[in-house]
Structure 1
Amino acid sequence: MISKIKKLAVKNEIFATIIYVCFKIYGGLFYIVFCVMDILPIKENKIVCCNMKGKRYGDNPKYITDALLKKTNNLDIVWLLNDLTDREVPENVRIVKYDFWHQIYELATAKVWIDSNAKQYGFRKRKSQLYIQTWHGSYGLKKVGADLGDKISKIDICNCKYNFKNTDIMLANSRRTSEIYNRAFGYRGQILENGSPRNDIFFQNSEDIKDKVNKYFEVNGKRIVLYAPTFRTDYRVSDLNLNYDILLQALSNRFGGEWVVLVRLHPNNLQDAKSFIQYTDKIINASEYDVMQELLVASDVLVTDYSSCMFDFVTNGKPCFLYASDIARYKEERDNYYELEDLPFPVATNEQELKEVITTFNADKYKKELNNLFEEVGLKETGHASEIAADYILKWMKEH
């Protein structure tokens, strides 16, 4: 429903204004209810986590949750989710419906909030509560926040300012990421620059994860290419499809072996996952798989367009290719921090170019350019970001 409303708002200025007024009214109501909740005491051992506005159990909050559970069993950890079924949530984590009343009650009575996205405008954080914003991108390609200039909607800029004014701690995996937080979000608080908790997984033994993904999708030991395009401002899907036969053949010719492609659409396009792609035993729908990082670990190659997952995937130096058939239009609508050609990743704007860049892939040149990129952004991935964040939280809870 929200995605459909946003599509209409993008296309109709009058409708966008109406939506903005409703957004402000709803935020005001949200704030009033939070104020009423002040009569309730804060539960000193309670932590509330959320990711993608309740869409998934995953991203940075998941890995911080895992680290906390390894350190203590005396916490009441709550996850806000839209779907309360079929989730790989640990037994000692409490799942609560991500709706108006439950969300407000759990947040209002928690000691710590952990989120990977901006919260609903109008929330009210008490002085004795800690709001940790992990964000869901790294030093990324797509511009965000104020860096978008007049390309950002009134709703997004309003909610962005409100959230980061109330945020106490942010997590960053690089010097460049911290700079983006300061400039694009106007954030002036503390930043833990020790890596992304979700990327600790790249420093661990990957065999169990690979086995898990292989069994889940029944790929039977075939090599995996993950196709993970991001969403467009108007939510169109016309630029997301490609010729999978050409892709799979090119990969087999260059790297050998038999391949399958896992197609993972952005959560904003989740409702479109079955509408324009013909899935087979070699073209597999992975859009509803909860944990993106597990797909990245299990995959041998990534094909994306403008998604920041490219920067996570190459933590271990694996091949990533960019298939971007709408570069000019996307730049006009959203804009990027980099020109695609300035990145280490081979770029294709059509299927024949994609075949060519895969076939002629130069591993040595790619590795050298990756190292240059890591140095340029001041990469700080340590493999211990989850543990560092968990230690910070437990220390803060003890002292406050």
Structure 2
Amino acid sequence: MAFLKHKIYGKLFSIFKVFPLKENKISFIIDSNQSFKGNLDYIKKEFERQGNFEFNFFYKDKISFNSFKNLATSKYVFLNDNFFPLAFMKFRDETEVVQLWHAPGASKKFGGSVCSPEELEILSMASENTDYLITSSKKVEKEYIEAFQIDKSKIEALGLPRLDYYFENHDLDKLKSEFCREYDIDSSKKIILYAPTFRDEEKYNNIFDFLDLERFNEVLGDEYVLALRLHPKIKNFYKDDISSRGKYVDVSEFESEQELMLISDILITDYSSIMIEYAVLNRPIIFFTYDLEYYLANERGFYYDFKQTVPGPIVHTSDELIDIIKNSEFDKSKISDFVMTQFDVIDGKASKRVVDFLLK
């Protein structure tokens, strides 16, 4: 049935190829919740700086005849996530279809590294209809070839456009002050951003079954506040509310994940690729992996040895987590070494490199 739906997309799309292509038209394929929009925003800004372009957003779950027409007549088409109907959408030769992918580097296995034979086939077909796949480093080429089932010749290591954010002129004091006012937080406190990923195994998705929030606040509450940001897909993997009677700030709906990272002093995560981007800030990262052995044995796995490679201490219990923060036990050299395995260049010019490459 899934293939049938994707084929219908392809048939509808082909109808609108009778309309002439517009050299200055750009389309972005996106979810309606816009959860992975970061790279697309920065590419749009760079095109605006370089010329007069017309922009359209093709929402995957809100299709219309007009959206298909805009897509079919675009010179450039950008994706930031998987879109299986692309397997059956034959764009004209003049159109450039570019996959930016929302996550930096290569960490948790995804796509062709973990999917079923049926998904592998459609993934390969989608990659045949993709002109370029942009990555953050040549060092992750092998992993992306496998994940996207794509030919090496289509991969361009031009950097992660959304990383340009950190090179803009931000007033950190103002950002933190506004954040603290919005969430009624004492601005003198340091912010610990907790950003866990989702698990396929539902019982491990309620982090408050494993984090002793009362003890956390008792020991660290005078100096720190905990800001929890759940993965946008968590609702697909946990049917109940994730809540606790203890004190914390829920920033899951906060618009800018990058702003949260910028104003945070410490990141707690587990298996999420957010740690790759946060590592660029050279700030402490703690890996709270209460289900590590189960995860390594039963879930997607990693492109590297997790225990040996991640840029920060790995803890399994609340007490270990609290002790690490209390005693500031962090090795920043491990962070910088890790960053070098995930990025070729970090200079705030990734968006420009991508747009220059396409326009030239």
Q: TM-score range by the shorter chain?
A: 0.7 to 0.9
After superposition, the C-alpha distances for 1:236-291 in whole angstroms (9 at most, x for unaligned) are 65353323344445556xxxx632222211111157698121377x5222222233
Q: Does 1:24 align with 2:3?
A: yes
Q: 1:110 to 1:327 in 2, by over 3 A?
A: same
Mapped partners of 2:30, 2:202: distance in 1: 20
Aligned residue runs from structure 1 range 1-400, under 5 A: 22-52=1-31, 54-56=33-35, 58-72=37-51, 74-81=52-59, 98-99=62-63, 101=65, 103-121=67-85, 122-148=88-114, 152-154=115-117, 156-188=119-151, 189-207=153-171, 209-211=175-177, 213-221=179-187, 222-233=189-200, 238-241=205-208, 242-249=211-218, 251=220, 258-270=223-235, 275-278=241-244, 282-331=247-296, 332-342=298-308, 343-363=310-330, 366-377=331-342, 379-393=344-358, 395-396=359-360
CA distance in structure 2 between the aligned counterparts of 1:250 and 1:112, rounded to whole angstroms: 53
**Cα deviation, residue 103, structure 1:** 4.4
Contact 2:136 2:342 in 1 (8 A): no
CA 1:235 to 1:134, structure 2 compared with 1: closer, same or farther past 3 Å?
Answer: farther
Q: What secondary structure, in the 3-state scheme, does the structure 1 residue paired with 2:207 have?
A: coil
User: Gapped runs of 5+ residues in structure 2?
Assistant: none
Look up the SS of the partner of 1:44 in the other structure. Answer: strand
The alignment-based identity, stated in percent, is: 25
Q: Which residue identity lines up with residue 57 of structure 2 in the other structure?
A: W
Q: Deviations over 1:354-381 (max 9, x none)?
A: 1233234334xx1111222233445422
Report the count of equivalent residues: 349
Contact 1:134 1:171 in 2 (8 A): yes
**What displacement does 1:306 show?**
0.4
Contact 2:279 2:311 in 1 (8 A): no
Unaligned runs of 5+ in 1: 1-21, 83-96
Report what 1:93 is aligned to: none
TM-score calculated relative to the size of structure 1: 0.78
1:384 Cα shift?
A: 0.9
Residues 324-351 of structure 1: CA distance to partner in whole angstroms, max 9, x if unpaired?
1111222222111233321221111221
State how far apart, in whole Å, the 2-side matches of 1:371 and 1:339 are.
17
1:49–1:114 CA contact under 8 A, matched in 2: yes
Are residues 45 and 204 of structure 1, via their aligned partners in 2, closer, same or farther at CA, if it must alter by over 3 Å? Answer: same
8 Å contact from structure 1 (residues 42, 111) kept in 2: yes
Distance 2:234 2:338 in 1: 30
Q: Deviations over 1:197-227 (max 9, x none)?
A: 1112223333254455445444352321111
- C-alpha contact (below 8 Å) 2:24/2:53 kept by paired residues: yes
**Is residue 322–residue 347 contact of structure 1 (8 Å, CA) maintained in 2?**
yes
Please identify, of 223-232 and 378-387, the stretch whose mean Cα deviation from structure 2 is larger: 378-387
Q: TM-score, normalising length from structure 2?
A: 0.86
- For residues 326 and 173 of structure 1, the distance between their equivalents in structure 2, rounded to whole angstroms, comes to 29
Three-state SS of the structure 2 residue aligned to 1:136 is coil
